Chains A and B, each alone.
Chain A
Amino acid sequence: MRIRAKTTAGLATAAALMLGTSAFAEPDMDARLVVNEELEITTITAAPDHLEGALEQVISGWHYRGETTRAMQADDFENPAMAFVDEGLATWDTVDGTEGESCASCHGDIEESMKGVRAVMPKINAENGELWSMEDYVNDCRTNRMGAEAWNWDKGPMKTMTAAIALQSRGMPVDVAIDGAAAPYWEQGKEMYYTRTGLLQLSCANCHQENAGNYIRADHLSQGQINGFPVFRMKQSNLVSMHNRFFGCVRDTRAESYAKGGPEFHALELYVASRGNGLSVEAPSIRN
């Protein structure tokens, strides 16, 4: 098939997929992730019912990474993301805003108060019925209770804070609600996931469901699970949020991508999180 191509990574991807030149490599399914020699992480589990057989098993992105990358995640003193978690933990105790409070002033010990929080995100805010991600809850506290400025969704302080909070759910199963008030958001996210978009007319499912295990150029395609977020992405050598990752993927289909923190990515976050229900929260993880 001839493609009138501009030199972009995205088009190369399409070419690779369409020419069928991608190789398949089984991710190392026997590998086990045990962090700090004590915390067992569930990285493979039965697919949630709502997938209706679309996937046999759900597999964490950890399995698709190389051996040395996987090993780095097993020790909190080797995991580069942990340096950022430490920053988030320090921020937790730092007073900010007109009210003279820190997160700790109300929430106390992060290990107690934030345990399990990441595992159920994003979720419906009981007060206003909206679907909120962790970032929304953080900014709500900052603006309404601390008298502090909202943090940019995708910048340092928010990323390190969500990493510190996510750590408190590590090892717990992802368990996002998709029914009740969450249902319409979930349906929206599901539709996005399966809709081809952009100049390349690729949907999330094209790569992450139909081609998980195949190579896209030099990247080993995973199932696109987000149980490991926030993630230390080696490409940026930095923490990366879910919406940042979605943004890049949609942009790479050569589509007008959506806003980080916007309604589309909220819905997509819920749907994609639900595809991993049962996997352990793995944050902060290391990915490519």
Chain B
Amino acid sequence: MADAKPRVKVPKTATAGEPITIKTLISHVMESGLRKDKKTGELIPQQIINRFTCDFNGENVVDMTLSGGVSANPYVEFDAMIDAAGEFKFTWYDDDGSVYEASKSIELA
């Protein structure tokens, strides 16, 4: 799905050592591989986002493995803690090999 669009909410600033909440959303059907095509009766092949990572200035924040049990347009909310200004990088990995990315900068308060 080449047109999956990520949507990420990162606060503009953070206090060093205090956690901040990050919200991420991406459009993706998360085809579980369990649904049948109504017309043909065939199983629709699985196609999901199978992994999501968030890094800050090159260090990992979270690394998540997803399955077809995650809802379409996967929403992932988690907390990060930073000690310097920098950039968050978000990466979503699709079963079909596509990789979707987003990045957000943040300043120290």
For residues 52 through 110 of chain A, which have their beta carbon under 8 Å from a beta carbon of chain B? 75-80, 82-84, 86-87, 90
In the complex, the chain A residue whose C-beta lies closest to that of B9 is A77
Residues of B close to A80: CB separation below 8 A: 25, 71-73, 75
Q: Mark B2-38, 1 if CB is under 8 A from A, else 0.
A: 0101011100000000000001111111100000000
- Please determine whether A86 and B7 come into contact, CB atoms closer than 8 angstroms: yes
In the assembled complex, the CB of B83 is this many whole angstroms from the nearest CB of chain A, namely: 24
Give the interface residue-count category, chain A.
10 to 19
| Complex-state Cα separation, A78 to B26, whole angstroms | 10
- Please determine whether A77 and B23 come into contact, CB atoms closer than 8 angstroms: yes
Interface size on B, residues (CB 8 A): 18
The answer to whether A83 and B5 touch (CB under 8 A), given A237-B71, A237-B73, is yes
Residues of A close to B3: CB separation below 8 A: 87, 90
- Please determine whether B25 and A77 come into contact, CB atoms closer than 8 angstroms: yes
- Please determine whether A86 and B23 come into contact, CB atoms closer than 8 angstroms: no
In the complex, the chain A residue whose C-beta lies closest to that of B23 is A77
Most buried by B among A76, A79, A83, A232: A83
The answer to whether A87 and B27 touch (CB under 8 A), given A82-B7, A238-B72, is yes
Most buried by A among B7, B8, B24: B7
Cβ-neighbour of A75 out of B23, B28, B29 (below 8 A): B23
- Please determine whether A78 and B5 come into contact, CB atoms closer than 8 angstroms: no
- Please determine whether A83 and B25 come into contact, CB atoms closer than 8 angstroms: yes
- Please determine whether B25 and A78 come into contact, CB atoms closer than 8 angstroms: yes
In the complex, the chain B residue whose C-beta lies closest to that of A80 is B73
| Complex-state Cα separation, A86 to B71, whole angstroms | 18
| Complex-state Cα separation, A233 to B7, whole angstroms | 19
Residues of A close to B73: CB separation below 8 A: 80, 83-84, 232, 237
| Complex-state Cα separation, A75 to B7, whole angstroms | 12
| Complex-state Cα separation, A228 to B17, whole angstroms | 41
Cβ-neighbour of B27 out of A75, A76, A86 (below 8 A): A86
| Complex-state Cα separation, A237 to B48, whole angstroms | 14
In the assembled complex, the CB of B57 is this many whole angstroms from the nearest CB of chain A, namely: 22
Residues of A close to B28: CB separation below 8 A: 83
Residues of A close to B26: CB separation below 8 A: 83
The answer to whether A78 and B72 touch (CB under 8 A), given A83-B26, A84-B27, is no
In the complex, the chain A residue whose C-beta lies closest to that of B10 is A77
In the assembled complex, the CB of A235 is this many whole angstroms from the nearest CB of chain B, namely: 11
Cβ-neighbour of A87 out of B5, B72, B75 (below 8 A): B5
| Complex-state Cα separation, A90 to B26, whole angstroms | 14
| Complex-state Cα separation, A84 to B26, whole angstroms | 9
In the complex, the chain A residue whose C-beta lies closest to that of B72 is A237
In the complex, the chain B residue whose C-beta lies closest to that of A75 is B23
Residues of B close to A78: CB separation below 8 A: 23, 25, 75, 77
In the complex, the chain A residue whose C-beta lies closest to that of B24 is A77
| Complex-state Cα separation, A180 to B12, whole angstroms | 51
In the assembled complex, the CB of B69 is this many whole angstroms from the nearest CB of chain A, namely: 13
| Complex-state Cα separation, A63 to B85, whole angstroms | 42
19 A–B pairs (Cβ distance < 8 Å), ordered by A: A75-B23, A77-B7, A77-B23, A77-B24, A79-B25, A80-B72, A80-B73, A80-B75, A83-B7, A83-B25, A83-B26, A83-B28, A84-B73, A86-B5, A86-B27, A87-B27, A237-B29, A237-B71, A238-B72
3 residue pairs, one from A and one from B, having the closest CB atoms: A83-B27, A237-B72, A77-B9
15 extra A-B contacts, CB within 8 A, seeds A83-B28, A237-B71: A75-B9, A77-B7, A77-B23, A78-B77, A80-B71, A82-B7, A82-B25, A83-B26, A84-B27, A84-B73, A86-B27, A237-B29, A237-B72, A237-B73, A238-B29
